[in-house]
């Protein structure tokens, strides 16, 4: 951005150099001159911008450079400003009384200085729009709730993007002082209005056009360069045809004109008119060959021909043949009553040289019925196929003798039982198992299995049949059981702390020995006993349950403590931690609230006679500040009046909030009627000096230093009617010569609340600030 002095210097340079008139011989010298002029312009001091009421502070910040100064004139500016440049000064022209910045949104900081350094902010009143000083909802504060960022006219720019075909052309923006660029190229920060573009390239005519530049938009220009043409040589008027063949020596004819012995392959026919022509080749003993060939002026078309010999006729066949296969193979072949000997005596066989007509075929093979005779038609020159499937002669099967024994198939539940047949104890066999070759008659069967009673039965076996036996073995008991009754019934039963069912109920499979039994029923006290269980026996238990009271309690704790408690929409006159007694059984809505934290709520189930435990972890509200500094260093916040930054449902308000920032100065300002006055969460070597901090009671604390605040200097400030006045949880922070209103009193040193245990030594008895 240029000052008026720069604009005059640029105008002089424009008068001296006209880029549109340059040509290749002059261009290099002119470019050197322009580079020197550009360096001269760049050496001018930083720019000072002026912002008037109705224009946007943010818009000017966005176009300014580090080192620039922005002067804001009298008026009320409704916007939320993000300072996104370092080494910048933003100050009012006539002080905070007449230069007011009000928040345009309730979810954003009024001024946000993040990741910047060496920023000075001076002479503003900073406030929420809803309570802006000396205004009402009908005042011009609201008419100036600017939705767009309005730039002063002298700071309005666009850009021009220039391409060309071909690329690499030199491009000149009329009036631009600087080096020469080649396409493609984009000119930035071109003043809004009309601009002339000139493009030139060796071997092409120069191109020029005037285009319109719009605010914050890019105008696209594409130069279609016209080449300077050169004369084209005249091509030859006729062509030629080169003809070759396999075999060579063929006579050549072109479009029906033949030359006999004059033109034989291989040969070239010259002076042929451009276009399509027919080439024909002829040679004794070969078929004639022809092809259409395209001829181009000045070129020789190539023709390659492979000639086909004339075929010699073959006499027709006079005999045929028969191909004979059989399944299985090896059958003897008989043709027309004659049995063949030698290679064609057995299948598979082919009988050749047979006269055309019908022939009789018969096949024979030992163990199979004869196949045929069958008539087969023989055709001259062909082989007639025959496939014969031989049919096997049947073989008589001997009748087996009648059976004299049977079988016994034995199964059991469970399987794996040992089987004893007719008292015989031999190699052990277990179920399932089948005895074979068992003699006819009456047999005794016995099964044994560990953990089960023996099982016996008698089985009758018939010759040629299988007798089936399925034994269900009875287990020998190893456990006992418990039958449980209760009054009233329906109580949950726990055996040795394991749930097993509800009364009335019988618990089976209980190991012998002593066991603990407990019964539970809502509205009744738990009941328990200990008893002995005996193998194979059932123990009986009768329990009479005792009713419990119909109310319970809720024990409420919170992090941090000291929060308000609400139950079912009714405030409890107590702070956490606290136990609410005599709460009716059932579901209740519990709400916990604390300034600076989001409300916490939950449904709590109250059981009669018991205490429900509730621990609420409260979440701090996000910060909203008049001036917000994060990762900012060496900034100066001076002579600003920050007021009425109010806490909302979702945000905790702070006049000035400092995070991860060091070496900053907050000086000669006023912070009033905010949630917190000044809060430093983390950072070192910051200084708070000569400020009037009063009536910051919404969330409390005039100045609050969290545990990350280190080596902070707090000097000669006036703390008036803040609740509390200050708080210090940091390290090595120095409080000296500040004024503190009642309380704590006008005599003695003032100990700052908080974990640091800081003390203001030599505090002032009277506030020296107006």
Q: Write the pLDDT tens digit of every residue in 424-438.
A: 877 889 999 999 999
3-state SS class at 287: coil
Residues 29 and 170 in one domain: yes
CATH number at residue 18: 2.60.40
Asked whether residue 398 is domain-assigned, the answer is no
Whole-structure pTM value: 0.43
- What per-residue confidence (pLDDT) applies to 1? 34
Asked whether residue 533 is domain-assigned, the answer is yes
Chain position carrying tokens 């060309």 = 164
- What per-residue confidence (pLDDT) applies to 178? 62
Q: Read off the pLDDT of each residue in 263-275 and give the average, rounded to a whole number.
A: 88
Asked whether residue 152 is domain-assigned, the answer is no
Residues 628 and 756 in one domain: yes
Asked whether residue 116 is domain-assigned, the answer is no
pLDDT at 733 over 90: yes
Residues 702 and 754 in one domain: yes
The chain-wide mean pLDDT, for the chain, equals 84
Which domain range does residue 14 map to? 4-44+157-214+217-224
3-state SS class at 137: coil
Residues 433 and 557 in one domain: no
Taking each helix axis from N to C end, the angle separating 4-16 and 24-42, rounded to the nearest 10 degrees, works out to: 170
Q: What is the pLDDT of residues 592-607, one digit of tens each?
A: 988 767 789 999 999 8
Asked whether residue 592 is domain-assigned, the answer is yes
Residues 366 and 416 in one domain: no
Pick 286 or 138 by higher pLDDT: 286
d(CA 277, CA 255): 6
Pick 689 or 265 by higher pLDDT: 689
Which of 171, 190, 224 is the last residue before a domain boundary?
Answer: 224
Asked whether residue 76 is domain-assigned, the answer is no
User: For the chain, how many residues are written?
Assistant: 770
- What per-residue confidence (pLDDT) applies to 745? 46
- What per-residue confidence (pLDDT) applies to 284? 86
Asked whether residue 765 is domain-assigned, the answer is no
Which of 189, 224, 259 is the last residue before a domain boundary?
Answer: 224
Residues 264 and 372 in one domain: no
Pick 44 or 683 by higher pLDDT: 683
Residues 600 and 632 in one domain: no
Residues 492 and 590 in one domain: no
Judge contact between 160 and 223, C-beta under 8 A.
Answer: no
Q: What is the pLDDT of residues 619-671, one digit of tens each?
A: 877 788 999 999 999 999 999 999 988 766 667 789 999 999 999 999 999 99
- What per-residue confidence (pLDDT) applies to 231? 54
Count of domains forming the chain: 6
Residues 208 and 245 in one domain: no
The pLDDT confidence band at residue 714, using thresholds 50, 70 and 90, is very high
Q: What is the pLDDT of residues 5-57, one digit of tens each?
A: 333 333 333 333 332 333 333 434 444 444 344 444 444 468 999 999 999 99
Query: Exposure string (b/e) for 479-510, b if CB count within 10 Å is 16 or more?
Result: ebbbebebeeeebbbbbeeeebebbebebeeb
Query: Exposure string (b/e) for 280-296, b if CB count within 10 Å is 16 or more?
Result: bbebeebeebeeebebe
CATH number at residue 476: 2.60.40.1120
Residues 570 and 538 in one domain: no
The CA distances from residue 349 to 258, 317, 325, 391, 599, in Å, are: 60, 21, 7, 20, 105
Pick 666 or 142 by higher pLDDT: 666
Asked whether residue 58 is domain-assigned, the answer is no
Residues 497 and 555 in one domain: no
Q: What is the pLDDT of residues 227-264, one digit of tens each?
A: 987 655 566 688 999 999 999 888 889 888 887 667 78
| Pick from 370, 394, 374, 398: nearest CA to 384 | 374
Residues 349 and 253 in one domain: no
């Amino acid at each position: 951005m240029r000052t008026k002095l720069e604009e005059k210097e640029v105008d002089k340079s424009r008068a001296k150099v006209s880029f549109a008139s340059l040509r290749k011989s002059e261009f290099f010298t002119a470019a050197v001159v322009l580079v020197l002029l550009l360096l001269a312009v760049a050496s001018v001091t930083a720019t000072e911008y002026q912002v008037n009421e109705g224009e946007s502070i943010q818009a000017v910040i966005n176009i300014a450079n580090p080192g620039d100064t922005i002067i804001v004139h009298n008026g009320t500016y409704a916007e939320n400003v993000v300072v996104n440049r370092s080494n910048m000064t933003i100050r009012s022209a006539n002080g905070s009384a007449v230069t007011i910045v009000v928040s345009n949104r309730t979810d954003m900081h009024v001024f946000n200085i993040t990741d910047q350094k060496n920023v000075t902010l001076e002479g503003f009143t900073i406030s929420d729009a809803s309570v802006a000083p000396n205004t009402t909802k009908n005042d011009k504060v609201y008419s100036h709730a600017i939705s767009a960022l309005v730039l002063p006219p002298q700071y309005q720019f666009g850009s021009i993007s220039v391409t060309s075909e071909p690329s690499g052309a030199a491009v000149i923006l009329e009036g631009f002082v600087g080096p020469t660029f080649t396409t493609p190229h984009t000119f930035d920060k071109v003043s809004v209005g009309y601009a002339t573009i000139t493009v030139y390239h060796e071997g092409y005519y120069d191109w020029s056009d005037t285009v319109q530049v719009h605010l914050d938009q890019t105008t696209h220009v594409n130069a279609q360069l016209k080449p300077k043409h050169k004369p084209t040589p005249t091509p030859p008027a006729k062509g030629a045809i080169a003809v070759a063949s396999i075999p060579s020596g063929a006579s050549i004819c072109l479009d029906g004109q033949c030359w006999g012995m004059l033109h034989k392959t291989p040969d070239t026919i010259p002076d042929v008119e451009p276009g399509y022509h027919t080439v024909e080749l002829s040679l004794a003993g070969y078929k004639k060959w022809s092809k259409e060939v395209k001829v181009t002026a000045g070129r020789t078309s190539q023709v390659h021909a492979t000639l086909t010999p004339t075929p010699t006729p073959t006499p027709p066949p006079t005999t045929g043949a028969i191909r004979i296969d059989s399944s299985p193979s090896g059958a003897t072949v008989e043709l027309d009553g004659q049995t063949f000997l030698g290679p064609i005596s057995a299948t598979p066989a082919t009988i050749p040289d047979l006269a055309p007509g019908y022939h009789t075929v018969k096949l024979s093979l030992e163990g199979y019925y004869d196949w045929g005779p069958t008539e087969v038609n023989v055709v001259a020159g062909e082989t007639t196929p025959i496939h014969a499937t031989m049919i096997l002669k049947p073989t008589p099967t001997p009748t087996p003798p009648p059976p004299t024994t049977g079988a016994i198939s034995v199964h059991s539940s469970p399987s794996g039982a040992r089987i004893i047949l007719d008292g015989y104890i031999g190699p052990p066999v277990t179920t399932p198992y089948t005895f074979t070759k068992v003699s006819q008659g009456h047999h005794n069967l016995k099964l044994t299995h560990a953990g089960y009673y023996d099982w016996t039965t008698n089985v009758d076996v018939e010759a040629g049949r299988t007798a089936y036996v399925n034994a269900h073995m009875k287990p020998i008991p190893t456990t006992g059981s418990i039958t449980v009754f209760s009054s009233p019934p329906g109580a949950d039963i726990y055996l040795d702390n394991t749930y097993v069912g509800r009364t009335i109920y019988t618990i089976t499979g209980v190991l012998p020995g002593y066991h603990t039994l407990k019964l539970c029923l809502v509205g009744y006290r738990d009941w328990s006993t200990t008893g002995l269980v005996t193998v194979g026996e059932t123990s009986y238990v009768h329990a009479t349950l005792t009713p419990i009271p119909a109310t319970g309690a809720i024990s409420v704790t919170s992090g941090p403590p000291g929060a308000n408690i609400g139950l079912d929409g009714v405030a409890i006159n107590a702070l956490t931690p606290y136990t609410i007694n005599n709460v009716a059984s059932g579901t209740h809505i519990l709400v916990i609230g604390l300034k600076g934290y989001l409300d916490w709520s939950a449904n709590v189930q109250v059981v009669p006679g018991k205490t429900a435990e509730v621990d609420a972890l409260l979440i701090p509200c996000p910060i909203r500040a008049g001036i917000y500094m994060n990762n900012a260093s060496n900034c100066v916040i001076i002579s600003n009046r920050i007021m009425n930054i109010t806490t909302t449902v979702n945000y905790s308000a702070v006049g000035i909030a400092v995070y991860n920032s060091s070496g900053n100065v907050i000086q000669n300002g006023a912070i009033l009627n905010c949630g917190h006055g000044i809060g430093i969460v983390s950072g070192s070597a910051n200084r708070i000096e000569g400020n009037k901090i009063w009536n910051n009671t919404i969330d409390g604390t005039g100045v609050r230093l969290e545990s990350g605040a280190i080596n902070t200097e707090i000097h000669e400030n006036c703390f008036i009617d803040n609740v509390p006045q200050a708080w210090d949880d940091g390290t090595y922070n120095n409080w000296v010569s500040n004024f503190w209103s009642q309380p704590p009193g006008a005599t003695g040193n003032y100990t700052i609340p908080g974990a640091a245990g800081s003390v203001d030594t030599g505090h002032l008895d009277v506030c020296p600030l107006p």
